[in-house]
Structure 1
């Protein structure tokens, strides 16, 4: 049953299964139309250095790119950055790079900046960023190898080489932040915005 009150379903500018799951579980009617944007080019051109600002910009650009092709639709863009101090991480390109990221993160606290934006007819109506602090436990070389063996190709699907909703949960000793932010979609502020617009029935 949907509680969506909009004339048309929402559009999610992402192919992320986690984000789709969060919207579906919240009872929102939506369709997924992944945005095709060059994230690194956008980041470099912007000159931004702060992880939260970069995530916000990319979320907005994703929403705007789909909004331009789908008039009169509310389009959700989302993005997430991972930063260990001043060092930002990208998705590992293979097992060796995944192991390198895990060695860097082990025993340290990193930050996930998750951004969400809503666009309609080429204009940003809402934008927000939430932060989660993730403390990874100390890991031996054997533990890293064992995790990589068990997780398989999934380690290249996410920045930091982990998915908290899967085997990645075994890597952590402390988490500060809500589950939605960690999964890459700040759902509570998004729902508050939609509610304020009269687009949801709860």
Structure 2
């Protein structure tokens, strides 16, 4: 069976793979996203997700040439702006107020590499429509959300309390979480990681 490595420290991506019973190893990539974003500022938020995914997979793939290595990243786009994770929870209120009553896009990028070379790339966009929530809800949310305020770019964990922020989502559940599972499973079957 082909070795499959997730080049990410993301707990939610690892959980998705485990729940789907996909055998994998984790080797976290130490790529500096800030440097790549600065160097490739010409890219759209959608293309940036794929660029970051490939950059994360490449060093792990070169070090493990016998394995298939998955790099994954997700970017958030609001009004054409590429948004970054918040450095502290104090900034979450302003971010959520900006998002209130409006849609934003989450762009997922996946890159599968072997011996440092890409063998498959995938991009998927989900549009999330934030409801016009009350200030009272926002106060309560900020009090309860905890780690989610800085762990994700949108200051929410969609698989938890964050689901209450939305009135509609156009897109795949797994893509919203940052790992489009069905196209990934299909390519893993092609490469012998999963049975046909």
Which category describes the TM-score, using the shorter chain as reference length? over 0.9
| 38, 45, 50: which one aligns with 2:39 | 45
1:93 matches 2:74: no
1:134 matches 2:128: yes
The residue aligned with 2:67 is: 73
CA distance in 1, matches of 2:76, 2:83: 6
Q: What is the Cα deviation at residue 88 of structure 1?
A: 1.6
Q: What is the Cα deviation at residue 154 of structure 1?
A: 2.6
Q: How does 1:116-195 map to 2 (within 5 A)?
A: 116-195=110-189
Q: What is the Cα deviation at residue 48 of structure 1?
A: 2.8
Extract unaligned runs of 5+ from structure 2: none
Aligned length: 196
Q: What is the Cα deviation at residue 166 of structure 1?
A: 0.9
RMSD: 1.2
1:59 matches 2:53: yes
Secondary structure of the 1:92 match is coil
Q: What is the Cα deviation at residue 139 of structure 1?
A: 2.2
Kindly indicate whether the alpha-carbon contact (under 8 Å) linking 1:14 and 1:34 is maintained by their aligned counterparts in 2.
Answer: yes
Kindly indicate whether the alpha-carbon contact (under 8 Å) linking 1:103 and 1:139 is maintained by their aligned counterparts in 2.
Answer: no
CA distance in 2, matches of 1:138, 1:75: 41
Q: What is the Cα deviation at residue 33 of structure 1?
A: 1.2
